[in-house]
Amino acid sequence: MYTVFEIGNAVDFVLSEAKRLRLRYPKVLVAPLLYRVEDNQLYQLKEGTM
């Protein structure tokens, strides 16, 4: 129904958003973090390893 707002791959989305925010706000430190509901853990994603 609302597929325009759907996030396909969460990791790719978080990494692209971090990149976008760094370009928009260059003086702000941006860390790509992902919270997983399944295990209640917060993960910091490494960039440039793919």
Does 27 fall in a domain? yes
Does 8 fall in a domain? yes
CA-wise closest residue to 21 among 36, 4, 9, 33: 33
Give the number of domains in the chain.
1
Does 11 fall in a domain? yes
State whether the Cα torsion 31-13-34-45 is positive or negative: negative
What's the alpha-carbon Rg for the chain, to the nearest Å?
A: 13
Domain residue limits at 13: 3-44
Does 49 fall in a domain? no
Predicted local distance difference test score (pLDDT) of residue 5 = 81
Predicted local distance difference test score (pLDDT) of residue 26 = 97
**Series of mean pLDDT values for 10-residue runs along the chain (50 residues):** 82 96 97 96 86
Does 22 fall in a domain? yes
Q: Residue 45 gets which letter from DSSP?
A: P
Rounded to two decimals, the pTM is 0.80
Query: What is the rounded distance in angstroms from the CA atom of residue 50 to the CA atom of residue 42?
Result: 20
Does 50 fall in a domain? no
